[in-house]
Structure 1
């Protein structure tokens, strides 16, 4: 599914966020200290190498909804945009904070003159955000944010499981003009 938001194409694919060589930036589902961890953060840090951890230290800590940008080091991308999503049931208002992650990441990508960005399903792993709710918030936020994103031409949601891909595809279809 590839609807347009402003001039940007939005797509959903099943895959590994660390293997998106055609994207200028990938988004990390970061922890507050921007340190290696499990899930997406662990995979991105392992693929990027120890230089990413060193680069992140100057930006930490971050709060839910915030985003920061670093080089991508060993990843096949130019940049990593690190977002701290809300912990579902703890960080409030969760919907606003999750939307802020997407909006702030898109703003950083636009400010850096990037043409493409890939997002995982932020906050849906260990942070417990229900996938259907997260997909709806993410799609609404990116559709709105891309209208002012300048250089961005492509946005991709990279989902690890077929079930998550189906949920994001459905959310994306529901926002087609």
Structure 2
């Protein structure tokens, strides 16, 4: 892959905890200490070392929690990747409706992946599900933000790993529209 030709973006149905990439992105909550959905699945699969690293981040860098739209990397514990990049998506149900906050999650995660030296990254549908964002809007924001980033030149693989047919269809549709 040359610097002038960024990697193609891909969407797959699957389990983000089994992805063989350098880094997986965790749709975390601000506490960084685990939760439901993707966050809970990643914490369960990674084992106790991930929680210990997150507790240390809370103690040292983020005593009030990780702010919405920012990203931070930890080791991956028992996951088949090297890093977990935690980002907190905006919670539409809590009144966080600014699309720029959602875009920031994707851009910050890419920046953090490049910072740690990752060449391949897997993203979930950040803020979809319990945080109330429409999957079509998440797909548009994810594909447009990641696909338009100058950081892609540093990566060989960018994959959106989605749970369910509706999410996969939304991302595949947006990827098709982008490449047309």
User: If the length of structure 1 is used for normalisation, what is the TM-score?
Assistant: 0.91
Pick from 157, 160, 169 the counterpart of residue 157 of structure 1: 160
Q: Is the 8 A contact 1:113 1:152 kept in 2?
A: no
Structure 2 residue matching 1:8: 3-state secondary structure:
coil
Q: Pairwise mapping of residues 28-107 of structure 1 onto structure 2 (< 5 A)?
A: 28-60=26-58, 61-107=65-111
Query: Which residue matches 2:10?
Result: 11
Change (3 A) 1:151 1:38: same
- Choose 87-96 or 130-139, whichever is displaced more: 87-96
Structure 1 segments (4+ residues) deviating >4 Å: none
Structure 1 unaligned residues grouped into runs of 5+: none
Q: Distance in 2 between matches of 1:18 and 1:91?
A: 29
Q: Distance in 2 between matches of 1:149 and 1:34?
A: 26
Q: Distance in 1 between matches of 2:95 and 2:72?
A: 19
Q: Distance in 1 between matches of 2:137 and 2:152?
A: 24
Q: State how many pairs are aligned.
A: 171
Structure 1 residue matching 2:160: 3-state secondary structure:
strand
Q: Distance in 2 between matches of 1:127 and 1:88?
A: 6
Q: Is the 8 A contact 1:87 1:94 kept in 2?
A: no
Q: Is the 8 A contact 1:118 1:155 kept in 2?
A: yes
Alignment of 1:124 onto 2:123? no
Structure 2 residue matching 1:86: 3-state secondary structure:
coil
Alignment of 1:109 onto 2:109? no
Query: Which residue matches 1:166?
Result: 169
User: If the length of structure 2 is used for normalisation, what is the TM-score?
Assistant: 0.90
Q: Is the 8 A contact 2:13 2:165 kept in 1?
A: yes
Structure 2 unaligned residues grouped into runs of 5+: 59-64
Offset of residue 85 of structure 1: 0.1
